Amino acid sequence: MQKLRRIVALSRFLTVRYLRDKTALFFTFAFPLIFLVVFGGIFGSDNGPSFDVALINRSTEPFSEEFVEIAAQGDFLNFQETEDFEVASEQLGRGEFSAIVELPEGFGALDEEGRPSGSIITYVDEADQQQSAAFSAVMQGLLDGVNAQFIDVDPPPLAIEQQSIQTANLTQFDYILAGLIGFSILTLGIFSMTEGFAVDKKNGALKRLRVAPIEAWQLIIATAISRVLVGILTVAVMFIVAVVFFDFNMRGDYLSFGLFTILSTICLFGFGMAIAGWAKDGNQAAPLSNLVAFPMMFLSGVFFPRFLMPDFLQAMTFYLPLTPVVDGLRLILTEGSTILQIGPQLAVIGAWIVIIYTVAFKVFRWD
Amino acid sequence: MKYVLEVKNLKKRYGSITTVDGVSFSVKTGEIFGILGPNGAGKTTTLEMIEALRSIDGGTATLAGLDVAEQPNRVKEIIGVQLQSSSFFDNLYLGELLRMFGGLYSQQVDVARLLDEVQLGDKIKSQVGTLSGGQKQRFSVAAALVNNPKILFLDEPTTGLDPQSRRNLWELIQNIRDKNITVVMTTHYMEEAELLCDRVAVMDKGKIIALDTPDKLIQDLLKKGFKKKKKVQEADLEDVFINLTGKELREG
């Protein structure tokens, strides 16, 4: 019991110390926040996919003008009128447009029954299958809507139902937020140890600590506690920024969020502790930290979703410790899962905690 | 208990090199015991074995009846240590550091009083990095006293200090002894050992080659027919400096 009280007492001082360390604060708070603001600005406040489309109107029929007006009202299509097909093609190639829509000569001319008729020609980049399919669907929907408006006859024999895709309306920002929170926990857990702890060991501050009747496991736990406290603070700040500045909608419950943050911090800190506990100084710790942290940053779904990876890579990276952290955060934050519903993530994190702390206790050196 | 520390045949090996080669001595309760020797003699290693900071390869050290090798944590509860190059956490104030160390012994610390005793009372909200050499050493001593130790170990406490700071630290050490705390200190300054220590062990190349009070050691030498080459004057240059600049502490 007395040992526990000593651990808690020590952890208070370690936390205060961390919160006064300007470099540590920058990397823990400011750095991820900068990412959040930049990525959030790019992807944020997004109501879903939208397409920038070049529109070439060669028709002189009055209906073609009306068609353009109707089309522009939709949320999903941003039309930009242009005259030059060649230029538009180049821009399509560069990704500035998702498609080119051409209203050919005679489009909208009234047929025998007095209905506007004609075909729209759409040009899409054949290299981008996913986007082309999505765009076609949207265009078809638009056409169907127009058909329904202007043709007041019985529904045509081949009725086309406009299918609206029911999604949870996940935006790219939702993915990014989970990823960046995971990123900040990674920074806190691993890089803060390379800087702080390794330096303390090299300059003898840890040795001075050891003069007192403290054992390695007590120091490890006290440091873990201090990191968890800072972790909660960091994540809370990022969350508040997301809600206030990027209209983020929390879909999960805060208890699950909090518990999962604590668990994730404990897990990733284990790696930082194993490395810094073993290394003699920063020169030994830094390469190891980079070796562990950087691959995870790119393979665990921090900056882009893992479903974009080939299957075999997805399968392998599932077991990296940061992956279940990012996935779990996303499931809780944006899909409303509770902590009890993310069993697979908890299992992987739990397994890593057992493994990495066993290693950390074994390889720890005071100097 | 007459002897608060008994060291018998202590040994430390690093590969084929034996840095501490069968060191034995006993320290009386309440005395200032010095270990005098050049750099590399093995003084620090000896001390660190007794402080349970280094493993003991041979022999025993018994402190207040406790075997250091077998009960290192209980020994640590009752000793205070000033390391040769003490480093403390940055970003914590002196007061906080003292309370932190106190907490490691489950002790409440009267931080203000402790800092006053080492004349750092006005630095309670300063960080170690802003202190001068003399101030750092004084803080180091204060940190070693948070747990009201029975024995205080000082490893070269005045190395690198200016004459005024040295004298001040000597006074501090004597005050500590007067409070009934046994002091074990290492030094390579002869006059320091002569001035402060009740008894001195002379150490060289991992062995103790003489152990007695400073007076007796000098007497023994004179009996061998030793004559000092230079006539000893009543004062030396260090006295000149002190006289010119004043005995009070002057912090840069």
**HEC letters along chain A:** CHHHHHHHHHHHHHHHHHHHCHHHHHHHHHHHHHHHHHHHHHHCCCCCCCEEEEEEECCCCHHHHHHHHHHHHCCCEEEEECCCHHHHHHHHHHCCCCEEEEECCCCCCECCCCCECCCCEEEECCCCHHHHHHHHHHHHHHHHHHHHHHCCCCCCCCCCCCCCCCCCCCCHHHHHHHHHHHHHHHHHHHHHHHHHHHHHHHCCHHHHHHCCCCCHHHHHHHHHHHHHHHHHHHHHHHHHHHHHHHCCCCCCCHHHHHHHHHHHHHHHHHHHHHHHHHCCCHHHHHHHHHHHHHHHHHHCCCCCCHHHCCHHHHHHHCCCCHHHHHHHHHHHHHHCCCHHHCHHHHHHHHHHHHHHHHHHHHHCCCC
Nearest residue of A to residue B140, measured between CA atoms: A208
Question: Residue A260 corresponds to which amino acid?
Answer: F
Q: Do B104 and A16 touch (CB under 8 A)?
A: no
Suggest the residue from B87, B146, B152 to mutate for an interface test with chain A (most A CBs closer than 10 A).
B87
Q: Do A211 and B100 touch (CB under 8 A)?
A: no
Does residue B105 sit at the A interface (CB-CB below 8 Å)? Answer: yes
Q: Residues B230-246: what's their mean pLDDT? A: 71
Residue A159: the pLDDT is: 29
**Residue B218 — very low, low, confident or very high, per pLDDT cuts 50/70/90?**
confident
Structure tokens at B115: 């800092």
Distance from CA of A222 to the nearest CA of B (A): 11
Which of B87, B105, B147 lies closest to A208 in CB terms? B87
Look up residue B61 and give its DSSP letter: E
Q: Do B92 and A207 touch (CB under 8 A)?
A: no
Q: Do B51 and A16 touch (CB under 8 A)?
A: no
* Chain A: residues touching B (Cβ < 8 Å): 2, 5-6, 9-10, 13, 16-18, 20-21, 200, 203-205, 207-215
Does residue B91 sit at the A interface (CB-CB below 8 Å)? Answer: yes
Residue A150: the pLDDT is: 58
Q: Do B105 and A21 touch (CB under 8 A)?
A: no
Does residue B85 sit at the A interface (CB-CB below 8 Å)? Answer: yes
Distance from CA of B79 to the nearest CA of A (A): 9
Residue A195: the pLDDT is: 81
Beta bridge partners of A123: A100
Return the percentage of chain B with pLDDT > 70, whole number.
94
Contacts of A200 in chain B (CB under 8 A): 89
**Residue B249 — very low, low, confident or very high, per pLDDT cuts 50/70/90?**
low
Contacts of B74 in chain A (CB under 8 A): 213
Residue A154: the pLDDT is: 53
The answer to whether the CB of A117 falls within 8 A of the CB of A131 is no
**DSSP run (H or E) holding B139:** helix B133-144
Distance from CA of A23 to the nearest CA of B (A): 11
- pTM (predicted TM-score): 0.77
**Positive/negative CA dihedral, B54, B59, B65, B66:** positive
Q: What is the pLDDT tens value at each position of chain A, 367 positions in all?
A: 888 999 999 999 999 999 999 888 888 888 888 888 887 777 654 444 677 888 888 888 888 888 788 777 766 778 888 888 888 887 777 667 778 888 888 877 777 777 777 777 888 776 555 667 777 777 777 777 777 665 555 543 232 333 223 334 456 677 788 888 999 999 899 988 988 899 999 999 999 999 999 999 999 999 999 999 999 999 999 999 888 888 787 888 899 999 999 999 999 999 999 999 999 998 999 999 999 999 998 899 888 778 778 888 888 899 999 999 999 998 898 878 888 888 999 999 999 999 999 999 999 999 8
Contacts of A5 in chain B (CB under 8 A): 106
Residue A158: the pLDDT is: 30
Residue B158: the pLDDT is: 93
| Residue written as token pair 């912090």 | B251
The answer to whether the CB of B1 falls within 8 A of the CB of B64 is yes
Phi-psi region of B61 (alpha: psi -120 to 50; beta: other; left: phi over 0): beta
Q: Do B73 and A200 touch (CB under 8 A)?
A: no
The answer to whether the CB of A309 falls within 8 A of the CB of A284 is no
Residue A82: the pLDDT is: 85
Q: Do B86 and A9 touch (CB under 8 A)?
A: no
Does residue B74 sit at the A interface (CB-CB below 8 Å)? Answer: yes
Residue A295: the pLDDT is: 92
Distance CA A247, CA A233 (A): 20
- Among candidates B75, B33, B29, B28, which has minimal Cα distance to B50? B75
Distance CA B109, CA B117 (A): 13
